[in-house]
Amino acid sequence: MSWWEILIIIAAAAFVVGVIVWRIIRKKQGKSSCCDCGGNCASCPACARARDAKAPQEKK
Report pLDDT for 1.
85
Sign of CA dihedral 29, 33, 34, 35: negative
The mean per-residue pLDDT over the stretch 33-56 comes to: 59
Kindly report the number of other CB atoms within 10 A of residue 26's CB atom.
14
What is the pLDDT of the chain when averaged over all its residues?
76
Domain boundaries, the chain: 3-54
How would residue 30 be classed by pLDDT, with cut points 50, 70 and 90?
A: confident
Nearest of 58, 57, 31, 56 to residue 44 by alpha carbon:
31
> Is the pLDDT at 19 greater than 90, yes or no?
yes
Q: How many CA atoms lie within 13 A of 33 on its CB side?
A: 4
